[in-house]
A and B are shown apart, each in its own frame.
Chain A
């Protein structure tokens, strides 16, 4: 079958779903939580934060390539979400709405920020063996995060949004203001640069 092309289709089912819900989060309907938060219930908003902060922080870290900045941006995202909750009408999932705010916050920051040289620097003395995992694979995964962080901003933005977050080129064009063709070109550039960096 065509799904056997290059023998890679199985990779999509192995994606881990890392810690989204904490054990202390009460099981409450998402729409109910949003409604309560809309009328000023901070506890409900905190639950929404606990459910979605990981995804928001992940996209902020990868887009900004800066852990410090990412925490700031994540804070900004949730403050804006709180202030904009009244405008959330539930046409999309809350996670989608929030994710879009996150992307917009990061991109707006990139547009206005002074060009300071910021890089994610993974600590050089991180001891992989002490976590009980074997060397080459550990290095492989961390190397990818590091290589993504080192991409030029344009290529990194498209790579993170398209390959990691699953946005289409049309979405990326409307979010960033670049042309769809530019988005495609940046994606292939990013992939080649990453492959080169991982060699």
Chain B
């Protein structure tokens, strides 16, 4: 069984798409039933695009190099000592603070775009029907190829499908109680994505695995 600590350890990998479908599915299964982990997931998810757009470079005040240079000990200036820095940097304070703000402004366009694109606008019912239809097609194809697949593969796929299906129904149940919860919506959508990924893998890579 997944514990909350297991989920926390894998949350970032989940959001970065680095988890195998079956691992992702068991996390999503836990998250659908655990309000604490759901809180952590949605906080991480909401912050992600914002944090990614923060600049990793903020230009320091232009006068700073001069202050540094005067403090570099060299053969020509053996007695150079660290003189009081505070007097210099105080006058630079406002510049530094404004720069923080400006560096954020540079990235606004990105934030705006990623921020909006992560919010699904279509009704749950519509996209869920699409996922179900796509899964059904893949499932039919899988049944057709069943005889070509090793028994171990079929068993593994069926076990993983059972995990994902239970995550889907958990998320669906939770969502019917709170239809406007965006985290639950994304959870449901993501569980469907996991199911499709698993089915595609089984269908297209089947005989080799």
Contacts and interface: CB of A to CB of B under 8 A. Distances in A.
Nearest to A74: B60
Contacts of A194: 43, 47
A120 to B, nearest CB: 6
Contacts, number: 238
Interface in B30-80: 39-40, 42-61, 64-65, 67-69, 71-75
B47 A2 contact: no
B57 A20 contact: yes
B175 to A, nearest CB: 15
Nearest to B98: A123
A73 to B, nearest CB: 10
A79 interface: yes
Contacts of B15: 5-6, 8-9
B169 to A, nearest CB: 19
B96 interface: yes
Contacts of A144: 47, 50-51, 54, 104
Tier of interface size on chain A: 35 or more
Contacts of B47: 144, 163, 191, 194-195
B136 interface: no
Contacts of B117: 7, 10
Contacts of B114: 10-11, 14
A131 to B, nearest CB: 5
B51 A121 contact: no
B52 A53 contact: no
A24 B75 CA distance: 27
Interface string A161-199: 001110000000000000000001000100110110010
A79 B64 contact: no
Interface in A61-76: 61, 67-68, 70-72, 74-76
Contacts of A134: 108, 112
B24 A140 contact: no
Interface stretch (A26-34, A41-49, A103-111, A150-158): A41-49
B107 A16 contact: yes
Q: How large is the interface on B (under 10, 10 to 19, 20 to 34, 35 or more residues)?
A: 35 or more
B72 A42 contact: yes
Nearest to B67: A75
A37 to B, nearest CB: 10
Nearest to B42: A195
A34 B71 CA distance: 19
A113 interface: no
A128 B108 CA distance: 11
Contacts of A131: 102, 105
Given A8-B118, A18-B56, A49-B68, A137 B92 contact: no
Interface of A: 1-12, 14-20, 40, 42, 45-46, 49-50, 53-58, 61, 67-68, 70-72, 74-76, 78-79, 82-83, 120-123, 126, 128, 131, 133-134, 137-138, 140-142, 144-145, 163-165, 184, 188, 191-192, 194-195, 198
12 contacts: A5-B14, A9-B17, A12-B52, A14-B49, A45-B72, A67-B97, A70-B96, A71-B89, A79-B72, A140-B50, A140-B115, A195-B46
The 10 closest A-B CB pairs, nearest first, are A54-B57, A3-B17, A67-B96, A141-B104, A57-B60, A137-B112, A18-B55, A58-B58, A68-B93, A195-B43
